[in-house]
């Protein structure tokens, strides 16, 4: 397993990690298999989506904030004031699985892999596991 250590900068943000994952896949030198990208934190998520227009990431953060406002009447906020971050992370999920074929990640032309931070800034680990076919 490989670990990517990412320092997030904002309270909520989406950080492109595609090239970091691609480097790990390249070094693994396998022809076919799968790549699992997993974040072991309860207030962060991993997504695969368009990475061409950075404004889309702002749209995703903004829309999630409308659906799940940072400040509402959450019971969990009595503990560490981040219920909204857990809910957003639950909606998106902690991992993505990408197929490796001919030694490369089979992402679509406009797709990238991103880490979503909902309770930053923090140091986050992202686990990358490559399983050979």
Q: Is 80 in the site for Zn ion (CB under 5 A)?
A: yes
Residue 113 bridge partners (DSSP): 48
HSE, CB side, 13 Å, CA atoms: give it for residue 8: 24
Q: Based on CB atoms, which residue is closest to Zn ion, 55 or 79? A: 79
Least Å distance, CB 84 to Zn ion, is: 10
Least Å distance, CB 82 to Zn ion, is: 4
The beta-strand segments (E) located in 51-122 are 95-101, 104-105, 111-117
DSSP 15: E
Selected range binding Zn ion among 22-30, 50-58, 74-82, 125-133, rule: CB under 5 A:
74-82
Q: Is 8 in the site for Zn ion (CB under 5 A)?
A: no
Place of tokens 């503990």: 79
Least Å distance, CB 126 to Zn ion, is: 19
Please tell me whether residue 55 adopts helix, strand or coil conformation. helix
Residue 68 in tokens: 């799940």
Tell which one of 25, 82, 84, 115 touches Zn ion (CB under 5 A).
82
Residues at the site binding Zn ion, with contacts judged by CB under 5 A = 80, 82
């Amino acid at each position: 397993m490989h670990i990517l250590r990412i320092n997030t900068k904002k309270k909520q943000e989406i950080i492109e990690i595609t090239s970091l994952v691609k480097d790990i896949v390249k070094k693994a030198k396998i022809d076919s298999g799968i790549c699992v990208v997993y974040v072991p934190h309860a207030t962060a998520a991993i997504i695969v989506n368009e990475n061409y227009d950075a404004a889309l990431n702002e749209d995703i953060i903004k829309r999630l904030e409308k659906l799940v406002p940072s400040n509402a009447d959450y019971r969990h906020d009595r503990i560490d004031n981040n219920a909204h971050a857990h809910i957003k992370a639950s909606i998106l999920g902690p991992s993505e699985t990408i197929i490796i074929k001919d030694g490369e990640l089979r992402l679509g032309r406009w797709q990238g892999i991103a880490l979503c931070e909902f309770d930053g800034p923090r140091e986050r680990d992202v686990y990358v596991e490559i399983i050979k076919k």
